[in-house]
């Protein structure tokens, strides 16, 4: 049985003082959620720009990485165990949220950490689906957003197929310690370290923070042809923010591919429940593309704007 080790912290001044990022208070509407405070402070959105500090650990990233073959595409990514152990040992203010999750043995801490350091099962499901469904020519000139990216493997796959990809994750330290290094690991070995950094800075944008604020921050930017998101529907209270982000950042003829589990024990969300929410709205329609009943029930859903009769 799948279950998040879910922790909801009280919002107090001491906790806010420890965080290096700005937060903003948003009301929670679900009184059934196990919390001692009816408010969670969500990080405000910001663009996170790659800098030269990434080059200091590039050799270490190379040594602590593994390869994964998806169709004809080779992906490289950091080995999570080694990375998390290093962060716990040599943590600084820029990786405080990841360290806090490790020290509390929790994959989710409301308003603080959203599980981005781990590669969850449905990410592999969606990667395999992409490789079997879309030819490499599909990705040419496509603007893609990896939303709730974590390791960034979905976006990296799209990038290596020829798409123009941006990455978004709730935690800034996940982007800096995991996503950006993973993207750099997938650049050609023939490039120098400086060339890899320059390509990272030129080809993709990285955003941290709450979805609603991310949509506001990027409202004047070009919208996306395709939004990829995996394991982001577990929290019922955040699902409407997710749909609002789709609405604001997706092109009129664009699509969203959502991969998730049938039910997330301990936090209440699930794929079937999310699809019902989509159906109740006036903006989107959904289409079930793939499902598996083995072990954990999982699926992939396509979401796009409703057609006007």
pLDDT at residue 9, rounded to an integer: 37
Residue 1 lies in a domain: no
* Residue-number span of the structural domain to which 148 is assigned: 6-305
pLDDT at 208 over 90: yes
| Dihedral of the alpha carbons of 197, 201, 207, 213, in degrees to the nearest 10 | 160
Nearest of 152, 44, 20 to residue 94 by alpha carbon:
20
Residue 250 lies in a domain: yes
Where does the pLDDT of residue 79 fall: very low under 50, low under 70, confident under 90, or very high at 90 and above?
confident
For residues 211-229, average pLDDT: 96
Gap between the Cα atoms of 254 and 197, Å rounded = 30
Residue 216 lies in a domain: yes
Gap between the Cα atoms of 20 and 96, Å rounded = 8
- Sign of the alpha-carbon dihedral angle for 305, 306, 307, 308: negative
Runs of H (alpha helix) within the chain: 13-18, 58-63, 80-89, 96-103, 121-133, 153-160, 172-174, 180-185, 193-203, 211-217, 236-249, 271-280
Give tens-digit pLDDT for 223-271: 999 999 999 999 898 999 999 999 999 999 999 999 999 998 877 899 9
pLDDT at 215 over 60: yes
Residue 75 lies in a domain: yes
Where does the pLDDT of residue 74 fall: very low under 50, low under 70, confident under 90, or very high at 90 and above?
very high
Where does the pLDDT of residue 10 fall: very low under 50, low under 70, confident under 90, or very high at 90 and above?
very low
296: CATH: 3.40.50.150
In this prediction the pTM is 0.82
Residue 194 lies in a domain: yes
Residue 214 lies in a domain: yes
Structural domains of the chain, count: 1
């Amino acid at each position: 049985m799948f279950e998040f080790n879910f922790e909801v912290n009280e919002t107090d001044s001491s906790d806010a003082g420890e965080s290096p990022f700005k937060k903003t208070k948003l009301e929670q509407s679900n009184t059934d959620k196990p919390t001692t405070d009816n408010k969670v402070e969500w990080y405000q959105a910001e663009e996170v720009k790659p800098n030269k500090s990434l080059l200091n650990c590039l050799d270490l990233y190379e040594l602590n990485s593994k390869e994964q073959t998806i169709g004809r595409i080779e992906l490289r990514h950091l080995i999570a165990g080694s990375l998390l152990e290093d962060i716990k040992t040599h943590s600084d203010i820029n990786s405080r949220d990841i360290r806090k999750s490790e020290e509390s043995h929790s994959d989710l801490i409301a308003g603080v950490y959203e599980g981005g350091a781990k590669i969850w099962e449905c990410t592999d499901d969606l990667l395999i689906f992409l490789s079997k469904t879309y030819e490499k020519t599909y990705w040419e000139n496509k603007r893609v957003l990896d939303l709730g990216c974590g390791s960034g493997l979905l976006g990296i796959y799209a990038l290596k197929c020829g798409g123009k990809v941006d990455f978004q994750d709730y935690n800034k330290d996940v982007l800096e310690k995991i996503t950006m290094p993973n993207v750099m690991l997938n650049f050609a070995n023939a490039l120098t370290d400086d060339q890899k950094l320059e390509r990272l800075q030129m080809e993709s944008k990285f955003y941290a923070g709450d979805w609603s604020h991310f949509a506001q921050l990027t409202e004047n930017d070009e919208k996306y042809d395709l939004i990829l998101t995996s394991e982001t529907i577990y929290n019922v209270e955040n699902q409407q923010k997710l749909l609002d982000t789709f609405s604001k950042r997706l092109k009129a003829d664009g699509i969203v591919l959502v991969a998730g589990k049938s039910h997330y024990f301990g936090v209440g969300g699930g794929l079937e429940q999310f699809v019902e929410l989509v159906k109740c709205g006036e903006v989107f329609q959904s289409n079930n593309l793939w499902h598996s009943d083995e072990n954990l029930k999982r699926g992939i859903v396509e979401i796009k704007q409703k057609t006007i009769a």
